[in-house]
Structure 1
C-alpha cells in the first residue's frame, strides 16, 4: 500500500512540473503561396515531421495565388502569412494595414531565363514580352535590379501569371523571357537544361547600394492585433520553422520528396541539389529584429522605384524577446 501511495504522489508531481501535459495544441491558420514557391517550401516539412505539434501548435496551411494571398492577408481574412514578402508588408503598412514581419525565412534570389538567341541582356527585353508574377515582391525586387543595370522596365510588356504558370511559359517558349525564382527555377532547368539565364547582377548591385550581401526577402508576418493577443505563440512558431529549416538542410533527399511529392525523380533530385548547394535557395531563418538594418535597406530599394510611397513604420519589424 505504501508503494502504491508513493507512486501516486510521484505521478501527481509529474503533472505539477509538466503544466503542458495534456494541453491541446494552439491552432494557427497560415496563408501561403501554392507550390512551386518558397512559401510552400517548409510547410510540408513542418507537417510531415510534426514540428508544429512538437512546439504545441496545430498549424493549418492554406494555399493561395500571389494576388489572392495579398488580398486575403491584407484584409485580415488571414491573420498570419507564411509567404510574407518584405516589400508587401511595408506597402500594407503604408496603406494603413497594421502588420509586422515576424521573422525571415529566405533571402532574395531571382532570375530571368530565355530561349531566344537575340536576348542577351536585360536591355534586350525592352519592347518584348516578359512572363512574370507581377504581383510578387520578387518581381518588384527584380525591377530594382534591372534598373541598376540600365534597363527601362517600363518598356517591358509584362504578361502577368501566377507562379505555377511560369515554368509552363518557359517550357513552351511563350515569351521572350520569364522571370522566376526558386524552387521553380531549379524545376525548370531540370526539365529544360538548355535554357539560358540572364545575369541580373544581384550581388554587385546590392553590395554597391548597401555595403551588405544579405537581402531579407520572404518570411512570416502577422497583423499587429493578432501579435498582441498571441505573443506567446510566436516563439513556438519560429521554433517550428527553424527546426524545419535545419531538418531540410540535414536531409536534402527526404526533404525534396516532401517538397515536390508529385515531381519526377529528376525533379526531386534537382530540389535536393538546390538544398545542398544552397546559394540560390537563400534559406536564412532569423528574427526580423536581427536583420533590422538590412530590412530598412530593402525598404529603401522599394522607395527608389516608387513601389513604396513612403517609409514603412518601424513597428513593421517585430522585436523578438531575447
Structure 2
C-alpha cells in the first residue's frame, strides 16, 4: 500500500495534465497480462496523460505482427514471441516484465493411475506447438530424461483442451493459466505438476520499438509507471482485479481470481527473469526454432526502473 501511495504521488508530481504523443499499445485478454488490463480499465494510463491507442489482441502472434509492422509501438507478449521478434531482427527492446511465473504452466491429467511424468510415456498429450506450453514440455522431458519422441504429442489449442481431456482423446494436457483452472472447475482433470520453482519463469514482457525508446523516454516512463501502479492495485485488491480480468477475458470472476494465484504480479526487471529468457532462447536455438541467440546487452533496457526508483 505504501508503494502504491508513493507511485500515485509521483504521478501527481511528474505528469500534471500533459498529454503525450499517441502510440499504439497491444495486450492480450489473459490473466498473465493482468497489469495491462487493469492499467487500461482503471484509467492508470489516462491518469499519466497518455493518449494510447489500445488494442486487445487474441494472441501474442498478432501482437508480434503488429509490432513488426510498426502498427503498434508497445506490446505485452510472452517469452517466445519476445525472443522470436528479437531474433528476427525487429527493432524492439525489452523494458521489463509485467507478470508470469512457472506455476502458471500446469500439466493436467485425467487418469488417477498417472502419478509421475514418466507414466506419460507412449500416451497422448495435448499441447500447442510454437508456444510456451511446448517449451514447458521440452523442459520437463529434459528434467525427467524422457525423450520427446516417447510422447504422442497432439497439437491442440487451449480452448480445445478441456473437451479433449474430458472425452479421453488425450491423457494429459500442458497449458498455461487459465486453461488448467477451467479444467479443474469442470472436474475434467487434476494437476500432475507445474513448473513453479523451475529455471523457466515464463515472463510476460513489455517491449517497445527502439525508435520510440530513443526519442520519447518520458512516454516510456509513464507507461511503466502506470503498469507498476496496476500491479500494486492487483496485489492490494485481488477481488476487484479479478472482476476486471473477467470483463476482459470472459472468464468467470471466481476462475479469474483462482488463476491469478498462479502468477507473479510484479512489474520490473530482475535476474530470474533475465535468466529465464536466456535459457528459453537456448532451448529454441537448440531446436532450430530461432536462427541466433539474442545479444541481451543490446536488446534489454532496464534503465527506466532505476530512473523511476522501482
- Whether 1:199 aligns to 2:182 is no
TM-score, normalised via structure 2 length: 0.78
Equivalence for 1:228: 214
Q: Which residue of 2 aligns with 1:49?
A: 42
Q: Which moved more, 1:180-189 or 1:243-252?
A: 180-189
Gaps of 5+ in 2: 1-12
In the TM superposition, residue 247 of structure 1 has moved relative to its aligned partner by 0.7
Contact preservation (8 Å) 2:23, 2:51? yes
Deviations 1:170-195 (A, max 9, x none): 45444221111223322332232x62
Aligned position for 2:90: 97
- Asked if the contact 2:111–2:171 (Cα under 8 Å) also holds between the matched residues in 1, the reply is yes
- Equivalent residue number for residue 5 of structure 2: none
Cα 1:45–1:181 change in 2 (3 A) is same
CA distance in 1, matches of 2:64, 2:113: 36
Q: Would you say the 8 A contact 1:120–1:198 is kept in 2?
A: yes
Instruction: Please point out which of 242, 246, 251 is paired with 1:260.
Output: 246
Q: What 5-or-longer segments of structure 1 have no aligned partner?
A: 1-17, 207-213
Within 2, Cα distance between the matches of 1:70 and 1:172?
Answer: 34
Q: Is the 8 A contact 2:35 2:265 kept in 1?
A: no
Tell me how far apart the structure 2 counterparts of residues 159 and 71 of structure 1 sit (CA, whole Å). 26
> Secondary structure of 2:268's partner?
strand
Does 1:320 find its partner at 2:303? Answer: yes
Match of residue 256, structure 2, among 271, 275, 278: 271
The count of aligned residue pairs is: 289
Distance 1:197 1:229 in 2: 47
Change in Cα spacing, 1:248 to 1:144, as seen in structure 2 (3 Å) is same
Aligned match for 2:225, one of 226, 239, 242: 239
Q: Which moved more, 1:243-252 or 1:116-125?
A: 116-125
Query: Which whole-Å CA distance do the structure 2 matches of 1:168 and 1:54 have between them?
Result: 43
Q: Computing the radius of gyration over CA atoms, which structure comes out larger, 1 or 2?
A: 1
> Could you tell me how far 1:253 is from its partner in structure 2?
1.2
Match of 1:80 in 2: 74
CA RMSD of aligned residues (A): 3.2
Aligned twin of 2:56? 62
Query: Corresponding residue for 2:25?
Result: 30
TM-score (norm 1): 0.75
CA-CA distance at 1:289 after TM superposition: 8.0
Cα 1:166–1:73 change in 2 (3 A) is: farther
2:95–2:301 CA contact under 8 A, matched in 1: yes
1:134 Cα deviation after fit: 2.0
Relative to structure 1, the CA distance from residue 95 to residue 231 in structure 2 (aligned partners, 3 Å threshold; closer, same or farther) is same
* 8 A contact 1:100–1:224 mirrored in 2: yes
Spell out the pairing of 1:88-167 with structure 2 (5 A cutoff): 88-109=81-102, 110-117=105-112, 119-167=114-162
* 1:238-292 alpha-carbon deviations (Å, 9 max, x no partner): 111111111111111111111113767xx423433454xx3x2122311368954
The CA distance in 2 between the partners of 1:247 and 1:131, in whole Å, is 35
Kept in 2: contact 1:133–1:162 (CA 8 A): yes
Q: CA deviation at 1:166?
A: 3.5
- Report the CA distance between 1:23 and its aligned residue: 3.4
How far, CA to CA, are the matches of 1:285 and 1:72 in structure 2? 23
CA distance in 1, matches of 2:240, 2:263: 17
CA contact (8 A) 2:165 2:171 kept: no
TM-aligned CA deviation for residue 317 of structure 1 = 1.3
